Amino acid sequence: MPTNFTVVPVKDSTGKAKEGDEEEDVEEDNVLKEEEDPTGDGVPKENSPFINNTEHDKNNSYDGTNMALFEEEMDSHPMVSSLLNKLANYTNLTQGAHEHEEADEEEGSKKKAVKSPQMGTFMGVYLPCLQNILGVILFLRLTWIVGTAGILESLGIVGLCCTCTMLTAISMSAIATNGVVPAGGSYYMISRSLGPEFGGAVGLCFYLGTTFAGAMYILGTIEILLTYIVPQAAIFKAERKEEEVDALFNNMRVYGTCCLILMAIVVFVGVKYVNKLALVFLACVILSILAIYAGVIKSIFEPPDFPVCMLGNRTLQNHGFDKCLKTEVIDNLTVTTKLWSAFCDGPELNATCNEYFANNNLTLVQGIPGLTSGVISENMWSEYGPLGMMVENKKLSSFGGSDPTKDIYLPYIVNDITTFFTLLVGIYFPSVTGIMAGSNRSGDLRDAQKSIPVGTILAIATTSFIYISSVILFGACIEGVLLRDKFGDSVKGNLVIGTLSWPSPWVIVIGSFFSCCGAGLQSLTGAPRLLQAIARDGIVPFLQVFGHGKANGEPTWALLLTAGICEIGILIASLDAVAPILSMFFLMCYLFVNLACAVQTLLRTPNWRPRFKYYHWTLSFLGMSLCLAIMFISSWYYAIVAMVIAGCIYKYIEYRGAEKEWGDGIRGLSLNAARYALIRLEDAPPHTKNWRPQVLVLLNLDSDQGVKHPRLLSLTTQLKAGKGLTIVGNVLQGTYLIKEAEAKKAEQNIKSAMSAERTKGFCHVVVSSNLRDGVSHLIQSAGLGGMKHNTVLMSWPGTWRQASDPLSWKNFIETVRETTAAHQALLVAKNVDSFPTNQDRLGEGTIDVWWVVHDGGLLMLLPFLLRQHKVWRKCKMRIFTVAQMDDNSIQMKKDLQMFLYHLRLDAEVEVVEMHDNDISAFTYEKTLVMEQRSQMLKQMHLSRTEREREIQSITDESRSSIRRKNQGATENSTVSRQSSTAEDNQEDEAQLIHDKNTASHVALNDKAEAGPEQVHMTWTKEKLFSERNRNREPNANVAVRDLFNMKPEWESLNQSNVRRMHTAVKLNEVVVNKSQGAHLVLLNMPGPPKNRGGDENYMEFLEVLLEGLNRVLLVRGGGREVITIYS
């Protein structure tokens, strides 16, 4: 839709129009290129020459009043006048121009103004495409293809290949007209449309194709030189006919290598000479084609005289004889000819001759009967055959003979390779490549968006017409046996296509020779620059050395690599073997050009606005399908090799390459696919069989925004093995406007830690007014749609007792409550820093599961998932469950074994019996200390002085209780020493109280057990009186007697807390007894109390429960079954 712009000058208060004086001239080397973001936020951005490029404007003060509303944002949002000024001064420099300018700067010379590109459609696109498309295959192989495949199948081959390139040109035109295409051509288009991975893979395939094309052109040059121009220059000469092929290949290798070295030196010394000679080479091609058409027209009236000697119906090589006769009469004497000597033992008339030679007559057939001769009907059908099959004319009579397998060593024309349709497709396809020549020169065009589509499509249409007409004219003018004579041996070693041309065969020979030379030089010029462009993009790290070159930007190292790869093609030595190789690489490139256009069209990306409108995604898909079909038609094994090479490059770039954001179509495709999948996932929750932990990892950071517990990420990696969703979250306290930089730094640090620990997932840093709300927001909102977490993983707050801020443990408990309310599973790792890294390999050991209560089966699933990782692979799984007094433990064990069997889990099963023992004195004392601590923690909000006074009073009370209990005992001195230490460290008083009482009671129990009588210390009324009676002797245990003096304090305890503490103590004893040596202990996590008043006691219960264990993973289910016995 046309849009009209009106430029209105805005006057300020002085009445003067602001003409954009504040802008400076844009630098001439302002080239569109991608750079890493200098801010270091890890988000690569495109450095446009028009926007966000205001370094020159920052020092200019803005003193106008009309735009004062926007003056604070002038640095990042330039005025339209500034934008248009930069747009007008923008120049699209060719590859290497930037380096030329840098070299000039270093020499101190003044920069020369870069001339704006002036090449039009005809000179800039049409002629270069024509030169690249028409080449060696047309002159050396097209006649042979027509003779072998017949006119109809040859038209099919030509039509198939030309249709493929035409559809590719349509797709390429759409991409090339969708914005400015800097120098780089096809690689730039593919990489910016499909992303760095595809761009790098296809770019390198295109590079390899161009390099092997150089080898093919050099081999064509040498073939013309040694076969048609100076055959006597051959170094290796064949003594026998069977050695001719090897001799030819060796000559090709030697001369080809010399030619390659010479061409590489020419390219290295002066590329400008190559470019200047391009028109000369193109003129040779055009003159040669005109000579062919002229010869066709002349053949109507006066066909050229090129007789072919036939023996029976077999074609003879016309090298060693002048006359197609067995004998001739000279001075009335019958003498044998040179041909006789080739088939007989000697020149005598009575010599023994070859049976076929003796039985058949010699016939002369005109090689070029002419356009009106009707030979077209004989050349309609194919004549495929195996290696060594003789070239025969079926119209001529043939009478028996010797074994044809032996006759192939006689001077007959035979097939040098096995021929079939698909082989000919691969050999012919390089003759239609070269359609990218115009887009590769996009930097030199006056209007690339107009010239590239018109010039490329016209060039393909022209060359398609030339090829189709050539197929028909060759079949209509040339005898079939001569068409199938690949090297022209039957016409005295003349180029077959040259026999048809006018005025002389030498026009074609010389023209094709220079055409192949020029094409080889062009390939050796273009391929290194393509490799240099890929290397400078930085997407393939090991190629970066090839981005360097001479001071003027010439790619020296890339030229050396290109010459080395080109030498591989020359050592193959066969034009027919090299052609399918480069066909594969070009077809890969064309396939992805079509794919890029189709993807962009189907995605309807907002930036997809090509000026070329005659495209459709169906045409692109058809072109892509044709490319794929031709790849496998011509050579399925080469196609697989090319795909494997491209796939390896793709995976390498994906694994090691630099991150680039080019707004490519594959990213858009991924977004569309992700959106579709998320909408599908939203329909229903996953089935139990598909359930896997989608983990939200709550990380803690230190004051420098570094990750405190990286082993938490290691555990995540071992648990997930790259599957499912992982979100690593963190909360910063403050406001986002102030903490934005810290949040980005934290995100970078977390991503670095994730990369180091090989944790695949997403990072989510939230800034909140307080940590409590931030964690709540993460639990509620992390993830999207159906891709939300169902499990929260966090570390145990190991320093909650020392924390001066009680919010540390309160936040932990609230997190437990919120995960329960959200029906999410919770995993709490205690002593997480002692967990194994991803590099560790745990030896023989166990993962112990303590299945106390059933909350969905997560306890059984986690060890199975961990054992999939190589860190835990050697560990065995043991499952413990707890039996009460009225449970049948034997039956429980059998049922559990059967349950595990149905779950397909291998584990040892053990049932632990826990009897209803009386509550021990140790439990009471633990509860007493816990409640004293709770009283102290409730006072934490007081001022420092009040807090110290409160701590002191609680400490004194606790000391007096301990002194009463330990009168006359040897432990008294130890307690006194600990008390004196506590007085010096009142800040850590809470921890010290716990330590003293714990040590006291451990010693108390040890002493009781060491005595002559085992005393069962419990508090019940019946046992109180029996113990008093037993301990009235003078030698009675003093500590036990003091134990009962504490009865008033025990009676004041909360009995609910006493029962909970009893459970924690007893369960801890059992777990430590059975699993202290286990590599990992998984344990049901009790829920927090419903009454929030007992939160601090809950932490004590858990601490007692986990005491004495190294690696523990507390597990709390999400309220749904996560494991099933059904298939």
Chain segment 852-880, per-residue pLDDT in tens: 888 777 888 888 888 888 889 889 999 98
Q: What is the pLDDT of residue 149?
A: 93
Judge whether residue 1049 has pLDDT over 70: no
Q: What integer pLDDT is reported at residue 40 of this predicted model?
A: 40
Q: How far is CA 761 from CA 694, 695, 955, in A?
A: 10, 9, 49
Q: Which amino acid is at 872?
A: W
> pLDDT per residue over 1068-1078, tens digit each?
888 888 888 89
Residue with tokens 């560990």, as numbered in its chain:
875
User: What pLDDT, on a 0 to 100 scale, did the predictor assign at position 663?
Assistant: 61
Mean pLDDT of 207-222: 91
Both structure tokens of 244:
């001719």
Burial degree of 247 (CB within 10 A; 0-12, 13-18, 19+): middle
Lowest mean pLDDT: which of 81-85, 220-224, 780-784?
81-85
Q: How far apart are CA 168 and CA 174, in angstroms?
A: 10
* pTM: predicted TM-score of the whole model, two decimal places: 0.67
Q: What is the pLDDT of residue 765?
A: 92
Average pLDDT over residues 640-644: 90
Predicted pLDDT at 954: 53
Write down the pLDDT at residue 563: 93
Q: Is the pLDDT of residue 451 over 80?
A: yes
Query: What's the pLDDT at 981?
Result: 38
Provide the pLDDT for residue 38: 40
pLDDT of 771 higher than 80: yes
Greater confidence, 405 or 617? Answer: 617
Average pLDDT over residues 375-403: 84
Q: Using pLDDT thresholds of 50, 70 and 90, give the confidence band for residue 1092.
A: confident
Which among 356-360, 396-400, 693-697 has the top mean pLDDT? 693-697
The DSSP result for 130-148, as a single string, is HHHHSSHHHHHTHHHHHHH
Reply yes or no on whether the pLDDT at 94 is more than 50. Answer: no
Residue 954's alpha-carbon distances to 156, 838, 1097, in angstroms, are 100, 47, 17
Q: Where does the pLDDT of residue 925 fall: very low under 50, low under 70, confident under 90, or very high at 90 and above?
A: low
Q: Which of 381-385, 576-580, 890-894 has the lowest mean pLDDT?
A: 890-894
Distances (CA, A) of 1101 to 821, 840, 1104: 22, 32, 5
Indicate the DSSP class of residue 550: -
What is the per-residue pLDDT for 190? 72
Q: In angstroms, what CA-CA distances link 185 with 437, 464, 518, 534, 1069?
A: 8, 23, 20, 11, 74
pLDDT tops 60 at residue 64: no
Res. 196: pLDDT tops 50: yes
Q: Cβ distance 930 to 1092 under 8 Å?
A: no
pLDDT score of 41: 43
Residue 590 has pLDDT above 80, yes or no: yes
SS3 assignment, position 405:
helix
Residue 632 — pLDDT band, cuts 50, 70, 90? Answer: very high
Instruction: Using pLDDT thresholds of 50, 70 and 90, give the confidence band for residue 134.
Output: confident
Is the per-residue pLDDT at 1003 higher than 70? no
* pLDDT at residue 115 is higher than 70: no
Which has more pLDDT, 231 or 1015? Answer: 231
Q: Which residue has the higher pLDDT, 702 or 1095?
A: 702
- pLDDT value at 530 more than 70: yes
Residue 245 buriedness (CB in 10 A; 0-12 / 13-18 / 19+): middle
Could you tell me which residues come within 8 angstroms of residue 743 by beta carbon, excluding any fewer than 6 positions away?
A: 732, 736, 765, 767
Give the pLDDT mean for 1047-1051: 48
Q: Average pLDDT in the 600-617 region?
A: 85
Q: What is the distance between the alpha carbons of residues 229 and 348, in angstroms, rounded to a whole number?
A: 36
Return d(Cα 527, Cα 555) in angstroms, integer.
10
When pLDDT is cut at 50, 70 and 90, the band that residue 919 belongs to is low
Would you state the pLDDT for residue 665? Answer: 62
119 falls in which pLDDT band (50, 70, 90)?
A: confident
pLDDT in tens, 463-488: 999 999 999 999 999 999 999 988 88
CB 999 within 8 A of CB 978: yes
Over residues 731-753, the pLDDT tens digits come to: 999 998 998 899 999 999 999 99
Task: State the average pLDDT for the chain.
Answer: 76
Closest C-alpha to 188, from 542, 553, 448: 448
Distance from C-alpha of 236 to C-alpha of 767, rounded to nearest angstrom:
80
Q: What is the pLDDT of residue 1059?
A: 75
**Per the structure block, which two tokens stand in for 877?**
């799984």
Instruction: Report residue 910 CA to chain centroid gap.
Output: 48
For the chain, percent of residues with pLDDT exceeding 90? 17
Q: Mean of the pLDDT values across residues 1057-1065?
A: 76
Is residue 366 within 8 A of residue 303, CB to CB? The reply is: yes
Asked if residue 195 has pLDDT above 90, the reply is no
Segment 950-983, tens digit of pLDDT: 555 555 554 454 444 444 433 333 333 333 333 3
User: Is the per-residue pLDDT at 20 higher than 60?
Assistant: no
pLDDT score recorded for residue 467: 95
Q: Is the pLDDT of residue 506 over 60?
A: yes
For 272-285, write each residue's pLDDT tens digit.
777 778 788 888 88
Q: What integer pLDDT is reported at residue 454 of this predicted model? A: 92
Residue-wise pLDDT for 532-549, tens only, equals 888 888 888 888 888 877
Percent of the chain with pLDDT over 70: 72
Label residue 171 by pLDDT band (50, 70, 90).
very high
- Mean pLDDT along residues 1039-1048: 42
State the greatest distance between any 2 C-alpha atoms of the chain, in Å, as a whole number.
160
Q: Which residue has the higher pLDDT, 677 or 402?
A: 677
Parallel/antiparallel/unpaired status of strands 327-330 and 333-336? antiparallel
- pLDDT at 627 (0 to 100): 94
pLDDT reported for residue 1043 = 41
Confidence of residue 1016 (pLDDT cuts 50, 70, 90): very low
Report the candidate in 760, 787, 762, 761 with the shortest Cα–Cα distance to residue 692. 787
pLDDT-derived band at 640 (thresholds 50, 70, 90) equals very high
Whether pLDDT at 774 is above 50 = yes
- pLDDT tops 70 at residue 817: yes
Euclidean distance between CA atoms 897 and 907, whole angstroms: 8
Q: Which sign, positive or negative, has the C-alpha torsion 627, 629, 630, 632?
A: positive
Q: How far is CA 1106 from the centre of its chain?
A: 45
The full DSSP string for 285-296 is HHHHHHHHHHHH
Q: What is the band of 256 on the pLDDT scale with cuts at 50, 70, 90? A: very high
| Mean pLDDT of the region 137-166 | 93
Residue 523 has pLDDT above 90, yes or no: no
Residue with tokens 């099919």: 156
